Amino acid sequence: MTISLHGLTKVFPGGVRALDSLDLDIGEGEFFALLGPSGCGKTTLLRSIAGLETPTSGTVSIGGADVTALPPGRRDVAMVFQDYALFPHMDVTANIAYPLRIQKVPRARREARAAEVAGRLSLSELLGRRPGQLSGGQQQRVALARAIACHPKVFLFDEPLSNLDARLRLEARTFLKRLQDELGVTTVFVTHDQGEALALAHRIAVMDAGRITQVGTPAEIFRRPATTFVASFIGSTPMNLLPGEVAGGALHVAGAVLPAPPGLPDGEEIVYGVRPEYADLSAVPRDDAFPGTVAVLENLGTSTLVTLEGGGEDGDRLVQVVVPEGEDPPVGAAAWAVPRPDRALVYHGDRLVHP
């Protein structure tokens, strides 16, 4: 089922504008991630699709039909919440079969369906247990099984992995990806974790303050973040975003002279973006590099994140570089961070102008 949102606005009593005239089209069978910081309106957007929130204005369509006025029970969507919302007094079978019971499916049929879905999610051994007797990962799978049980046309996931510890979260992520591949059901997945969005989604919408800043594939969003907000939000290490200026046809940024993209006149201010993974460290001076002093080394396992502190009048400026295992520079040494020009981003007026 496709999902279309047009001019969706939600103003809560008290005046918080959680959604601000938002437009979005999600394709049939797509695994779509809504990514953004806490409070940007992700849950409100998901609840509006589910019918749990009435928009102040705008429309929600599912499968081409306007469902804005339909109650949640008539939208054919299943929502999985952050806290799973399992019934503590019911066993796993009853929890999974619950939506079927609401639909008045006969007991034998709904128990057979629960057992079938449980098998698919490796829960067959646990059907008689109650949620209190399950691990976090198992509870999460029961919540998924309950969502799958009634063959919904759309899955809505609100940070479903955030209560799992780091290791389990990675396993659950792989599991979820495979499940969505198999089922092919249109899925909207809310997360504040950029790694999760990049790993799972076919496409990502980055949200900021009730609006969508950028929509694209993980590769597009990673490679060409449309604004410095998106750039600062995506990536496993924070992007270097350095203010600079165009002069003499070149970019002057944090002590480096770098090639300017065409069309930027002298005197314009820009922001130069480069990921720490896309810069190299030099122990000898270079014009096309940011000079600094090695201030901090952070071990990332297979590499090291090096923080350089700018010298002189640039004393507050920090530039980070990831260096391969075994190539740590000494703390206190002078060093130059060399950005890879083919991976650099240039922002002008907070819009990406290169590449």
Chain positions contacting Mg ion, by CB under 5 A: 43
Distances (CA, A) of 276 to 150, 282, 305, 306, 332: 46, 14, 8, 9, 19
Count the Cβ atoms, other than its own, within 10 Å of residue 308.
28
Binding of ligand ADP by 12 (CB under 6 A): yes
Strands 31-35, 186-191: parallel, antiparallel or unpaired by DSSP?
parallel
Write the burial class of residue 320 (CB in 10 Å: 0-12 exposed, 13-18 middle, 19+ buried).
Answer: buried
Nearest residue (CB) to Mg ion, 43 versus 48 = 43
Nearest residue (CB) to ligand ADP, 23 versus 269 = 23
The candidate with the shortest Cα–Cα distance to 35, out of 138, 152, 162, is 162
As measured in angstroms, the least distance from the Cβ of 86 to ligand ADP is 21
Instruction: Determine which residue in the list 3, 5, 8, 18 makes contact with ligand ADP, applying CB under 6 A.
Output: 18
Nearest residue (CB) to Mg ion, 43 versus 93 = 43
Nearest residue (CB) to ligand ADP, 21 versus 133 = 21
Binding of ligand ADP by 87 (CB under 6 A): no
Rg (CA), the chain: 24
Binding of ligand ADP by 42 (CB under 6 A): yes
Binding of ligand ADP by 44 (CB under 6 A): yes
CA angle, corner 20, sides to 14 and 25, nearest 5?
140
As measured in angstroms, the least distance from the Cβ of 45 to ligand ADP is 7
The answer to whether residues 40 and 207 touch, using CB atoms and an 8 Å cutoff, is yes
Tokens 């083919």 found at: 342
Binding of ligand ADP by 38 (CB under 6 A): yes
d(CA 128, CA 94): 9
Instruction: Determine which residue in the list 43, 95, 139, 320 makes contact with ligand ADP, applying CB under 6 A.
Output: 43
The listed partner (Mg ion, ligand ADP, none) that binds 12, CB under 5 to 8 Å by sort, is ligand ADP
Binding segment (CB under 6 A) for ligand ADP, from list 32-40, 193-201, 282-290, 319-327: 32-40
Binding segment (CB under 6 A) for ligand ADP, from list 14-22, 74-82, 240-248, 255-263: 14-22
Binding of ligand ADP by 16 (CB under 6 A): yes
d(CA 330, CA 323): 12
The listed partner (ligand ADP, Mg ion, none) that binds 173, CB under 5 to 8 Å by sort, is none
d(CA 17, CA 21): 10
d(CA 101, CA 55): 29
In the β-sheet with 17-26, what is the strand arrangement from edge to edge? Answer: 17-26, 3-11, 57-62, 65-66
As measured in angstroms, the least distance from the Cβ of 39 to ligand ADP is 4
The listed partner (Mg ion, ligand ADP, none) that binds 292, CB under 5 to 8 Å by sort, is none
d(CA 177, CA 158): 15
What tokens were used for 227?
């604004």
Binding of ligand ADP by 39 (CB under 6 A): yes
Binding of ligand ADP by 197 (CB under 6 A): no
Binding segment (CB under 6 A) for ligand ADP, from list 31-39, 170-178, 238-246, 289-297: 31-39
The candidate with the shortest Cα–Cα distance to 233, out of 205, 194, 197, is 194
Beta-bridged to residue 269, according to DSSP, are 245
d(CA 145, CA 297): 44
Binding segment (CB under 6 A) for ligand ADP, from list 11-19, 54-62, 64-72, 163-171: 11-19
Nearest residue (CB) to ligand ADP, 12 versus 87 = 12
Binding of ligand ADP by 41 (CB under 6 A): yes
Nearest residue (CB) to ligand ADP, 41 versus 292 = 41
- Interface ranges with ligand ADP (CB under 6 A): 12, 14, 16, 18, 36, 38-44
